[in-house]
Amino acid sequence: MKIILATHNSSKVKEISQLMSELDLEIVSLDDIGITEDVVEDGDTFAANALKKARFAADQVSEWVMADDSGMCIDALDGQPGIHSARWAGDDVSDRAKAEFTLVKMENVPVGERGASFNTVAALIAPDGSEHLFEGILRGEIMTELRGPIRPHLPYDCLFKPEGYDQTYAQMSPDEKCRISHRGIAFNKLKKYLREQTLNQNK
C-alpha cells in the first residue's frame, strides 16, 4: 500500500517510516511526488493543522494520505508554544536558537514546576475521502539546560525528558524514542486502524 505523508520534512518521513515499518507500506513525501508548495498552518488546534495538510495532499492524489501536527505545551507558559512550536522563536531561526529561546522563557520557572507535554494529532484520509484522527500525548518536564544532540527539525528533543525516564528525547536512541514518543502513540493508533482495514479487505 502506498501512503503519501504530507510533509517536506525528511526527518519526519524517516521517523514515521520507522514507526510504520511493521506494515507493508510505501511511504513517500510531498517532495517525492513533485509537490513543492507549503501549507499555511493557520489552524487553532493540532487537529485542524493536521487535517489541513492532509486535505491539501488528498486533493492532488488518489492514494491514502496522512499528515500530523505536533508541538510542545509547557504548563508554566499556559500551554505555549503549542501549535506555534515551529515558529515561536521567530521565522528562519536555527534549531539551537529555538531550544535556547525556550530556556530563556523558562529561566524563572523552578525545578518541580517545569511540567510539559508533547502532543501529536495524526490525520489519515482514505482514497474514498473519509477522514480519521489519532492523538498522542506524552507528559514530561523541561530541563534547565540542553541535554543531548540537537537533531535537525527537532529542536525541543534536547529539553524534554519524558516522565519515568532519566534521558531527554535527544539522549535516547531513535528506536527508543519512537517506542515511547507522542508521535509514536498517535501513529501506533493509526497503524492499528490501517491493519484492521487491510484485514477487512482480505476477508
Catalytic center residues:
69
Q: Are 7 and 33 in contact (CB under 8 A)?
A: no
Running DSSP on this structure, what letter comes out for residue 168? -
CA 106, CA 84: separation in Å to the nearest integer? 16
| Cβ count near 163 (within 10 Å) | 11
CA 30, CA 57: separation in Å to the nearest integer? 8
160-162/131-142 β-pairing: antiparallel
Signed CA dihedral, 28, 29, 32, 34: sign only = positive
Sheet holding 2-5, edge to edge: 26-29, 2-5, 64-74, 115-125, 131-142, 160-162
